[in-house]
Every structure is written in structure tokens, then in C-alpha cells.
């Protein structure tokens, strides 16, 4: 009774019955009876736990992420926690809200990633460590498993003590048998007792490292890795298409440049031929004009000479007719 009274109880969100925190589901805070036979799984995107409500609907995406996928499409990896839940921008809603409330992200002491947020409250730390949300959830699950394991060890030791005290009132042969059985039970319980004497943190982190490959954690991690690989392959394909488009454009520009260069060279050659033809025609015309000028000059000189001779003859003939009359 003292242990039950000292353990805080929390209400189920459906039937409002009170239970220890580890007996309620993490996502919707449901007790075992309300959860029924439907499994509690982790969302592929936000990694929150939720209960499947139908055996026909085995989706591993919670209702909130499903609505976000319909509204914004598939998310990308958050730049802080690397969870594929960034529907708007580069941050998931959990990290965006934490950054708005507690300031910039700091390094998680467990996974060493910059995805934890300092709430400046030591009571919010797990074992005095500042952890991110994923490491906090993993550590809480490991603590619950360790607590359950230790309670089972205590029950086993209590049953062994009662059986030993009951056999004291029997006969000697029965006592010998009881001692043999107690020895065997002690031998069987020794590994458990040794395991219980281990540092709880060692047990927790060992249990984290020894997760069942078929557990939801590994399934979600594999799903996220597959989606990350698909997203990266899509980006690589887009980059390849962009490079091909740029190569095609460069080839077209080179071909256009070559054609333009050839056209310019042909145009220059045509202009050079045309200029040479015009130059030759002008030279020929100039030569003809010079010849014509020379011919005209020669004929002008000849006409001048004939004119002078004619004038001289005219003067001579005039002077010959005037002389007799004078005498």
C-alpha cells in the first residue's frame, strides 16, 4: 500500500481511470483496457506513439501527420532532429515550437546532435542529462522496462523466501528436498540478482542497444531511411536532369555561336569581295578618265596650235594686201 500510495497515478484520457504513467500509452494516454487489442505503433513521420483504431487500417502514420501530408505533401528531414516531419520549412513542428519557447537548439548529451532544447529546469532532465526528445523517449521506455524487470526479480525473491519458511515445518526428507530446490532456485536467481546489481543506466543503455530488430523503433527507422534514400535519389535525379538540360543548352549555344561566327566570316568575305570589285571598278574608271583627260589635253593643244597658225596666216595675208595700196 505504501508503494502504491507513493507512486503518482495518471488518468486515462478515455475512461479517466487512474494508472501509473508507464501503463498509459505515450501518444493518447490510454490504459490497457481502452487500448484493447489494437496495437500501439509509432508514427513514421513524427515518431509519436498512437493506437491503431481498426484492424483493417494498419497505417503507421498518425492522424495529424496524415492531415499534413494531404495539405502540404510529404515532409522533409528536420534540420535539428533529422526526423522526417518538416512539412513547412526546414523544421518539424516539435522543434519549431521548442525553439520558439526555449530558444536555439543545443547539443544532446546522448546522441551528440544539435537537437535538444534547454528548458532551464533540472526536473525536466533525465538522470541529470539534457537530452533531445527522441533520446528522452528511448530512455523513459528503457527505465520502464528496467523497473518492470526489477519488480519481477523482487517477486521471485519473495516467493523463494516464503517457500523456504514453509518447508521448515516438514520432515527432514522434505527439508532436504526443499533445500535442494532452494539451492537450484538460488542458482537460477543468481544471474538475475547479479543483473539487478548492475548500474541502472548500464541496464538502460544496454537494453537500448539490444532492441528487437522487429520492434517498431527499427521499423520506423528503416522506413525513414528508405524515405530519405528515395528523397535523395529524387534530388540526384533532379540534379542530373538539370545538368543534362544545362549541357543541352550549352551545346545549343555553342552551335549557335559557331553558326553566327561562320555567318559573320562569310559576310566579311562577301564584303571584302564586293569592296575589291568596287575598288577595281573605280581604278578602271579612274584610268579611263585619265586617258580621256590626256586625250582631251592633247587635242586641245593641237587645236591651240592650229588656231595660232591660222591666226598667223590671217595676219600675213592681211599685211600683203595692204602694202600695194599704200605705195
Q: Where residue 190 falls among pLDDT bands split at 50, 70, 90? A: very low
Interval 215-232 mean pLDDT: 70
Residue 24 in any domain: the answer is yes
Query: Angle at which helices 200-209 and 133-166 pack, to 10 degrees?
Result: 120
- Spatial neighbors of 99 by CB under 8 A, at least 6 apart, are 80, 91, 105, 117
User: Quick one: DSSP state of residue 169?
Assistant: G
CB atoms within 10 A of CB 204: 22
Q: How confident is the model at residue 3 (pLDDT cuts 50, 70, 90)?
A: very low
Task: Tell me, yes or no, whether 58 lies in a domain.
Answer: yes
For residues 101 and 124, the answer to whether their CB atoms sit within 8 Å is: no
pLDDT, one tens digit per residue, over 233-273 is 888 999 999 999 998 999 999 999 999 999 999 999 999 99
Arithmetic mean of pLDDT over the chain: 75
pLDDT at 213: 47
Residue with cell 589635253: 297
- The residue among 230, 207, 231 whose CA lies nearest residue 217 is 207
In a domain, 26, yes or no: yes
Distance CA 198, CA 214 (A): 27
Given a contact cutoff of 8 angstroms between Cβ atoms, the answer to whether 127 and 142 are in contact is no
Instruction: Output 57-64 pairs: Cβ under 8 A, ≥24 positions apart.
Output: 60/219, 60/220, 60/223, 62/27
Domain hosting residue 25, numbered range = 9-74
pLDDT at 138: 81
Q: Which three cell numbers stand for residue 315?
A: 595676219
Q: Is 61 among the domain residues?
A: yes
The verdict on residue 43 lying in a domain is yes
**pLDDT value of residue 15:** 80
Q: Is residue 69 part of a domain?
A: yes
Nearest-5° angle of CA 224, CA 228, CA 230?
115
Question: Is pLDDT at 203 greater than 50 in this prediction?
Answer: no
- Asked, for residue 54, whether it belongs to a domain, the answer is yes
Neighbours of 142 (CB within 10 A): 20
Question: How many angstroms separate the CA atoms of 116 and 104, rounded?
Answer: 9
pLDDT in tens, 69-124: 998 888 888 988 888 888 888 889 889 999 988 888 898 888 888 888 888 877 77
What is the pLDDT at residue 268?
Answer: 92
Quickly state the pLDDT bin for 322 (edges 50, 70, 90): low
Q: Decide which of 172 and 236 is more confident.
A: 236
| Cβ atoms within 10 Å, residue 217 | 17
Does the residue 85 lie in any domain? no
Q: Domain count of the chain?
A: 1
- The position carrying cell 503518482 is 8
Q: What is the pLDDT of residues 7-65, one digit of tens each?
A: 788 888 778 888 888 777 766 677 777 766 567 778 888 888 777 766 666 678 888 88
Amino acid at each position: 500500500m505504501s508503494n502504491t500510495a507513493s507512486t503518482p497515478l495518471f488518468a486515462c484520457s478515455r475512461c479517466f481511470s487512474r494508472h501509473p504513467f508507464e501503463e498509459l500509452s505515450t501518444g493518447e494516454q490510454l490504459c490497457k483496457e481502452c487500448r484493447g487489442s489494437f496495437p500501439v505503433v509509432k508514427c513514421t513521420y513524427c515518431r509519436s506513439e498512437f493506437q491503431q483504431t481498426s484492424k483493417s487500417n494498419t497505417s503507421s502514420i498518425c492522424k495529424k501527420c496524415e492531415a499534413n501530408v494531404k495539405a502540404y505533401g510529404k515532409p522533409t528531414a528536420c534540420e535539428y532532429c533529422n526526423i522526417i516531419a518538416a512539412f513547412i520549412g526546414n523544421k518539424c513542428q516539435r522543434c519549431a515550437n521548442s525553439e520558439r519557447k526555449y530558444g536555439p537548439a543545443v547539443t544532446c548529451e546522448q546522441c551528440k546532435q544539435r537537437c535538444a532544447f534547454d528548458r532551464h529546469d533540472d526536473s525536466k532532465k533525465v538522470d541529470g542529462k539534457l537530452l533531445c526528445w527522441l533520446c528522452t523517449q528511448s530512455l523513459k521506455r528503457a527505465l520502464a522496462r528496467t523497473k518492470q524487470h526489477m519488480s519481477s526479480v523482487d517477486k521471485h525473491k519473495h516467493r523463494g523466501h516464503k517457500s523456504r519458511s514453509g518447508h521448515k515445518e516438514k520432515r527432514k526428507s522434505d527439508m532436504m528436498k526443499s533445500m535442494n530446490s532452494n539451492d537450484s532456485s538460488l542458482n537460477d536467481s543468481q544471474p538475475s540478482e547479479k543483473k539487478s546489481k548492475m548500474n541502472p543506466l548500464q541496464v538502460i543503455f544496454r537494453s537500448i542497444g539490444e532492441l528487437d530488430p522487429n520492434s517498431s523503433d527499427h521499423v520506423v527507422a528503416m522506413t525513414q531511411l528508405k524515405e530519405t534514400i528515395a528523397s535523395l535519389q529524387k534530388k540526384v535525379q533532379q540534379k542530373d536532369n538539370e545538368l543534362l538540360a544545362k549541357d543541352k543548352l550549352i551545346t545549343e549555344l555553342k552551335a549557335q555561336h559557331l553558326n553566327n561566327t561562320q555567318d559573320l566570316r562569310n559576310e566579311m568575305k562577301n564584303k571584302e569581295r564586293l569592296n575589291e570589285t568596287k575598288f577595281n571598278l573605280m581604278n578602271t574608271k579612274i584610268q579611263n578618265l585619265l586617258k580621256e583627260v590626256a586625250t582631251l589635253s592633247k587635242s586641245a593643244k593641237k587645236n591651240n596650235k592650229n588656231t595660232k597658225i591660222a591666226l598667223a596666216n590671217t595676219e600675213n595675208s592681211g599685211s600683203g594686201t595692204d602694202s600695194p595700196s599704200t605705195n
